[in-house]
Amino acid sequence: MPFDDLRQWIAALDKAGELKRIQTEADPILEIAEITDRVSKGRDGKGAAGGPALLFENVKGHPGAKVLINQFGSEARMKLALGISSYDEVADRVRMFMDVKSPQGFLDKLKLLPLLTEAGKFFPRTVATGPCKEVVKRDNFSLLDFPVLQCWPKDGGRFITLPCVVTRSPKSGKRNIGMYRMQIYDERTTGMHWQRQKVAAEHARDRMRAAVEGKSAAVDIMARSSGGSVLAEGERPSGKMQVAVAIGTDPALTFSAIVPAPPDLEEYIVAGFLRGAPVDLVKCETVDLEVPASSEIVLEGHIHLEELRSEGPFGDHTGFYSLEDLYPVFHVSCVTHRKDAIYATTIVGKPPQEDAYMGKAVERLSVPLMKLAIPEVVDINLPVEGVFHNLMIVSIRKSYPGQARKVMNAIWSLGQAMFTKCVVVVDEDVDVQDLRDVVLKVLNHIDPERDIQFTLGPVDSLDHASRLPDYGSKMGIDATRKWASEGFTRPWPDEIVMDAKTKAQVDRKWKALAKELGIY
């Protein structure tokens, strides 16, 4: 069953023994982050890395406020959030919808009806009102009334870190939900850290192009800023772009905001697919956008197309601070929220953190989509320590010479996968989830000069080592067995593997042997 809102989700976490309520006073400036970091890394003195979800109920400077953090911070909770026991369940559903063929006759059309009925549950529906409208503030509000965290000592200030940011394409009219950190500047303005490759940034650029229609050459000169653009003198675009931000949504919707969906597929539909039920939406008060009706907090406002402001530093999921840069400014015109709103947030930093488990879930759900584009792919692994854009290990069914290099280039052409700094391609018999097996095979199988290639292209904005912001080099490693048709004429040795008969014999004796060896 889907969770209708954050409160149902918290109740489910509580019931499952996955939530700890913290009564000790904790400061949203650094303290809550330090507590959560220790818990997420297993330094609470109990259990393994991941730790429980935390609900802080005594927040310094914010009487009565509650802060939820680490809600997705384990594989078990990530699966609970999606209502599954295995990621394969969702992957199989993805495959089922991708495998639909055009009906050839009446019987085929009848067989398609159950699938169409199921798909009908994915689409959002607009309702008259919802819990997020319990309190409406057009005046006399302050963003600082909410217990927004400062996570790390050198952060530029407090940051909203788990927002669902809603924008609309001026071309198609379709909505997008992205998750972009928001630095609090003052009571009514924040930074909007949408990197230049993100969909919301493209929505802003589309509006800029429309504002200077017929002067596309000027519009195409992009600034160093990830969110803005530089125009010729006297050609600054004027106008505003409407934005809404939902904080504290149901878990499937929050997760959908980080899923790399195609730009024309609304995340509200992705959430409906994951929930198996539509998302109820309400119209905003001051902007022409719709937000989840059950949100804990909604911020409404706009950005000025010509306005950029320094944002950061920010302690990021790379384990390093992302440096100051120019980004759009979000001006808040209205705040709506539930009574006794729960503030949902997260902390990022050196892994493992909560985002590691969210990222691994994205990885598992991305496999069938990647196989659709690159059929020879068997499996992928984005190791947590590679912070999801620094390293991808991919196994393939190799059928022709040079195929590993074809796969590398195909990966660099796929959406957010274009940022992958290092792609390592191995044969299908390598378990990419077993890093010991990967390291053994890769380092034994490569001749570095022959098997490593470099290319230039877009890189993640958080890559502090690239030669220029957003642009740098990437590396591909072909660690597959080399064929004669690839110019390798030496014999390729067999892997050392015990024969099945001997293994079976020892299996039968293993119980007695284990007792003698003291292995239990």
- The catalytic residues are 316
Kindly state the tokens that stand for 416. 């957010």
A 10 A CB-CB count for 45 gives 6
Side-chain-facing half-sphere of 270: CA atoms under 13 Å? 24
Whether the Cβ atoms of residue 399 and residue 387 lie closer than 8 Å to each other = no
Q: What string of DSSP letters covers 484-498?
A: GGGT--SPPPPP---
Nearest to 405 by CA among 455, 343, 334: 455
Residue 406 DSSP class: H
Residues 6+ apart with CB under 8 A from 202: 263
Q: Where are the alpha helices (DSSP H) in 264-418?
A: 267-275, 354-373, 403-411
Whether the Cβ atoms of residue 279 and residue 122 lie closer than 8 Å to each other = no
How far apart, in whole angstroms, are the C-alpha atoms of residue 361 and residue 259? 9
For tokens 């100051």, name the residue.
Answer: 324
**CA-CA-CA-CA torsion sign (463, 468, 471, 477):** negative
Q: 354-373 vs 75-82: helix axis angle to the nearest 10?
A: 60
Q: How far is residue 368 CA from its own chain's centroid?
A: 17
Whether the Cβ atoms of residue 76 and residue 84 lie closer than 8 Å to each other = no
Bridge partners (DSSP) of residue 477 are 424, 452
